[in-house]
Homo-oligomer: A and B are copies of this chain.
Amino acid sequence: MSGEKQSKRKYSGKKLLLAVDCIIFGFDEQGLKLLVIKRGFEPCMGRLSLMGGFVGDTESSEDAAIRVLHELTGLEGIYMEQLHLFSSPLRDPGARTAVMAYFALIDIKSYQSQMSDDFQARWVPAEEVPKLIFDHNEMVEMAKERLRYKAALHPLLFELLPDKFTIPQLQILYEKLYDTKFDPGNFFKKIRSTGLLVRLKERDKLNSKKGAYFYQLDKEKYEEGFNTFLNFVYKPRFKNKVQKKSSVKK
């Protein structure tokens, strides 16, 4: 009764390799972008893949992901979160490997300024991701879904924009991500009503004649407000009431 069944299980697992892969999103005028590299080692050398690396002996998977992101982009403090562990025994033909996938959001501009070509990295449109190695396409799909999910509830998309941005810029981002259009007036009020933004003196005159004010995140309120659900994305309303509960009970 003292757990006979259990005892035989003492460290009975086979060891395996633990890796991280990073699904890195950026955003520019064309829309949402994904950062991929040309793989520089076997197996599958030369093919496109996500940026990844193995978890070292003295680091956690978070450490590894931060390291990998830094190696590729030179950036620190990137928004990043666990996406999903992929651990099918069949997923990597080379060796038994489990991969913790992370998804990350970066300001595409700040990256391009310090791009190196060690990894032959490139941005591809998130809507038309080319064939990647292994199960990387599956990871990307899951990441896109997660991004849409989270961004509808949390003020997440600011991570994709530069430090200073305009509300119309932000609107375009939301519209691309959800493939929809928002009423500019209502969007403006909704965003402002969150209280997360601070308006700057300058205006962006490039994209319109009148010019749009630049805003910055109020870092404090951003962190406070992150977990208060926001419902940024308009909820579907019943435009045409289909049935009107035609109380026909005799």
A interface with B by C-beta (< 8 Å): 1-7, 9-19, 37-42, 53-62, 71, 82, 84-85, 87-89, 94-96, 98, 100, 117-120, 152-153, 229, 235
Contact = CB atoms under 8 A, between A and B. Distances in A.
Q: How many copies of the polypeptide does the oligomer hold?
A: 2
A85 B57 contact: no
A79 to B, nearest CB: 17
Sorted nearest first, the 6 A-B pairs with minimum C-beta distance are A3-B40, A13-B54, A6-B40, A15-B15, A61-B87, A14-B57
A14 B89 contact: no
A35 to B, nearest CB: 15
A11 to B, nearest CB: 6
Nearest to A53: B9
Contact of A55 (B2, B13, B54, B100): B13
18 contacts: A1-B117, A2-B120, A3-B118, A3-B119, A5-B71, A6-B40, A7-B41, A9-B54, A11-B95, A13-B17, A18-B87, A57-B96, A58-B89, A61-B85, A61-B87, A85-B100, A87-B100, A152-B229
